[in-house]
């Protein structure tokens, strides 16, 4: 029986077969490329972490180079919650398991901010104490901490995520061994205005954070992002002309995230090397029974 190649039935059947074949081929190609795509994503993340350290050896490191030397510089990966409790602690000898959701390297900053942090912020808008209370209660928010050991010094890479003018902003910052002095930073964004808010990724903006402090004698201070041209102190950097809201977003992001790490180092002096002096311990013990700690003091 001859096939009627001019009929509608033939045309429809041929189209269906081609769709199935092409769809199948695309699915196979996609599955074959997925490991390569994921490797590129992981390498870029390693690149950002390494570049944020602020040492000569990792400055300007490429994505491919980062994937090869990450374990040379990053010797420990720790995940903590808002209260500073350690949820996961991996050494350089522990390979990164993509199925281990608590491994610090697998923490998705943007995803957690969008799904868990932002709803809490919207719910408690304008009430800082209630915001902190709800963040403490959440079991879905994690904070990765990477430790770099190089030439006898330790560096602590911490993370932050938030919202700029249009969409997500995020980054990694490096603290020196005292847990208070910034040694480097790397920021990224999804959709800030080109030539304005997008400049948070440029070296001149990121380099300003080097040497700034996230604490003073009174406790936590974070880093303020001021309008360009202002007189800056050791806790402030210049913002970007024409990108006020991006600067506000960066400042809010840092304030909300860095306090978690500050409190962690304060409560775990074995990490930052800030072991309390014997006389300080005695004084604190004597005062603990008679001192009423305010809500503001608990977050310093």
DSSP state of 94: S
For β-strands 224-226 and 236-238, DSSP reports them as parallel
The closest alpha carbon to 184, from 162, 164, 160, 156, belongs to: 156
Average pLDDT, the chain: 87
Number of domains in the chain: 1
Whether residue 296 lies inside any domain: the answer is no
Q: List the one residue out of 144, 175, 148, 147 whose CA is nearest residue 160.
A: 144
DSSP per residue over 173-242, as a string?
EEE-TTSSBEEEEEEEESSPPTTTGGGGGSHHHHGGGTT-BSEETTEE---EEEPTTSPP-TTEEE--TT
Domain that residue 264 falls in: 51-287
Residue 30 falls inside a structural domain: no
Residue 64 lies in a domain: yes
Strand partners, 226: 238
In-domain check, residue 61: yes
* Dist. CA 228–CA 238, nearest whole Å: 5
Assess if residue 133 is contained within a domain: yes
As a whole number of angstroms, the distance between CA 197 and CA 190 comes to 11
CA angle centred on 146, ends 249 and 97, rounded to 5°: 110
Q: How many CA atoms lie within 13 A of 102 on its CB side?
A: 12
Domain assignment present for 109: yes
Residue 19 lies in a domain: no
Mean of the pLDDT values across residues 250-276?
86
Question: Are the CB atoms for 262 and 213 separated by under 8 Å?
Answer: no
d(CA 215, CA 242): 29
Cβ pair 291, 124 in contact under 8 A: no
pLDDT of 291 > 80? The answer is: no
pLDDT digits (tens, 9 = 90+) for 50-83: 999 999 999 999 999 999 999 999 999 999 999 9
Neighbours of 285 (CB within 10 A): 9
- Identify the three-state secondary structure at position 146: strand
Taking only the tens place, the pLDDT of each residue in 164-195 is 999 999 999 999 999 999 999 999 999 999 99
Q: Where are the beta strands (DSSP E) in 92-142?
A: none
pTM of the model: 0.80
Q: What is the pLDDT of residue 15?
A: 78
The helix/strand/coil state of 115 is helix
User: Residue 13: which pLDDT band, with cuts at 50, 70 and 90?
Assistant: confident
Q: Is residue 272 part of a domain?
A: yes
Per-residue burial over 269-278, b if 16 or more Cβ lie within 10 Å, else e, is eebbeeeeee
Q: What percent of the chain has pLDDT over 90?
A: 73
């Amino acid at each position: 029986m001859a096939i009627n190649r001019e009929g509608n039935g033939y045309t429809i059947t041929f189209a269906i077969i081609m769709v199935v074949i092409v769809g199948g081929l695309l699915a196979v190609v996609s599955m074959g490329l997925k490991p390569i795509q994921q490797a590129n994503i992981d390498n870029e993340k390693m690149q950002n972490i390494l570049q944020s350290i602020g040492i000569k050896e990792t400055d300007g490191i490429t994505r491919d180079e980062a994937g090869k030397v990450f374990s040379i510089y990053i010797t420990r990966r720790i995940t903590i919650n808002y209260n500073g409790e350690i949820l996961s602690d991996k050494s350089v000898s522990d390979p990164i398991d993509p199925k281990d959701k608590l491994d610090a390297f697998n923490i998705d900053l943007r995803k957690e901010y969008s799904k868990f942090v932002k709803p809490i912020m919207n719910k408690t808008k304008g009430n800082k104490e209630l915001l902190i209370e709800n963040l403490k209660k959440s079991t879905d928010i994690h904070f990765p901490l990477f430790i770099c050991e190089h030439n006898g010094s330790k560096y602590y890479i911490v993370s932050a995520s938030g919202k700029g003018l249009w969409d997500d902003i995020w980054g990694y910052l490096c603290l020196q061994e005292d847990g208070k002095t910034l040694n480097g930073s790397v920021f990224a964004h999804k959709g800030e205005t080109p030539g304005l808010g997008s400049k948070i990724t440029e070296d001149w903006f990121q380099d300003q954070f080097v040497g700034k402090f996230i604490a003073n004698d009174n406790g936590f201070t974070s880093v303020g992002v001021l309008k360009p041209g202002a007189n800056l102190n050791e806790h402030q950097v210049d913002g970007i002309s024409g990108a006020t809201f991006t600067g506000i977003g960066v400042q809010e992001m840092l304030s909300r995230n860095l306090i978690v790490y500050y409190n962690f180092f304060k409560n775990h002096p074995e990490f930052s090397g800030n072991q309390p002096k014997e006389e300080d311990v005695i004084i604190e013990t004597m005062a603990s029974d008679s001192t009423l700690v305010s809500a503001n003091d608990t977050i310093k």
